[in-house]
Structure 1
């Protein structure tokens, strides 16, 4: 049974169906595997050096997944992340740019080599580098949200 990703409070950290949705959508869109061969949900959540985030299809999309690398990068716990509207990962002036990105992903299925300014819980600003953003599409063709992965970011130096 596919989870209803618009229900708040679901713990999808190790959920095999959610992992399959992210991994299969990534491979279908990008043409390569999200995880090393033989690795699955546990590896992606606990051990992946790359940040992996996903949000649902709410009118104001909310994060539904953030692996440990994402939690460290953005400085939010799992419980904080899954209640956070994804727009809050960018500062207000950068939200229009973020919205253009998400619309481009919706139109094209994915975007690679994305660079954008983001903000952590502490207010630390950083650029994500070489991010891949893709649509989460289930086996029946229903769009369930969007996800992003990146393994490089650069803190913005204070003026």
Structure 2
């Protein structure tokens, strides 16, 4: 499996949205953003208005976040600028990072993982559970893996 690092210059980057949504649809056989036209309108809805959190990391050896929609920014208490480039391992408390690493490796090997629940920590130090999470590989149509993404459908206080 070939991997290649990707960056996202803007939360409304339609090329990145195409990769994010296209990977989700190819792997899970359903669109990430249902009932919203593709392109700029869908990218804007996902970033500004989605009722669920979406995060993405690159494919580096120590992955960093490359995308976080507004819901994810509120949940993790980081701005767009703070999220971009933040090592994604820092989203989990130290004691839970090995479990997170195993989960990410499982998703890399299988293409995706559904139904995950795990403990996370915000930039402000608040701990919370992420629930009903799907993690999938950001994969080009030629099979090149550009990173991984997650949709967090619900969360609760720890």
The TM-score, its normalising length taken from structure 2, stands at 0.92
1:52 paired residue number: 54
In structure 1, the residue corresponding to 2:98 is in which secondary structure? Answer: helix
Aligned length: 151
Divergent runs of 4+, >3 A: none
In structure 1, the residue corresponding to 2:102 is in which secondary structure? Answer: helix
What is the rounded CA distance, in whole Å, between the counterparts of 2:5 and 2:97 in structure 1?
26
What is the rounded CA distance, in whole Å, between the counterparts of 1:67 and 1:117 in structure 2?
19
Pick closer, same or farther for the CA change 1:37–1:144 going to 2, 3 Å.
same
Map Cα deviations across residues 124-156 of structure 1 (whole Å, 9 max, x no partner): 000100100000001221000000001200111
In structure 1, the residue corresponding to 2:146 is in which secondary structure? Answer: strand
What is the rounded CA distance, in whole Å, between the counterparts of 1:103 and 1:59 in structure 2?
12
1:67 paired residue number: 69
Q: CA RMSD in A?
A: 1.3
The TM-score, its normalising length taken from structure 1, stands at 0.91
1:17 paired residue number: 15
What is the rounded CA distance, in whole Å, between the counterparts of 2:33 and 2:98 in structure 1?
31
In structure 2, the residue corresponding to 1:136 is in which secondary structure? Answer: strand
Once the two structures are TM-superposed, the CA of residue 37 in structure 1 deviates from its matched residue by 2.1
Q: Identify the structure with bigger relative contact order (alpha carbons < 8 Å, sequence gap 6+).
A: 2
What is the rounded CA distance, in whole Å, between the counterparts of 1:48 and 1:38 in structure 2?
11
Map Cα deviations across residues 61-114 of structure 1 (whole Å, 9 max, x no partner): 000000000000000000000020000000111000000000100111000000
What is the rounded CA distance, in whole Å, between the counterparts of 2:10 and 2:23 in structure 1?
16
The runs of 5 or more residues in structure 1 that have no matched partner are: none
The runs of 5 or more residues in structure 2 that have no matched partner are: none
In structure 2, the residue corresponding to 1:55 is in which secondary structure? Answer: strand
Once the two structures are TM-superposed, the CA of residue 12 in structure 1 deviates from its matched residue by 3.2
In structure 2, the residue corresponding to 1:128 is in which secondary structure? Answer: strand
In structure 1, the residue corresponding to 2:85 is in which secondary structure? Answer: coil
1:30 paired residue number: 28
Once the two structures are TM-superposed, the CA of residue 4 in structure 1 deviates from its matched residue by 5.6
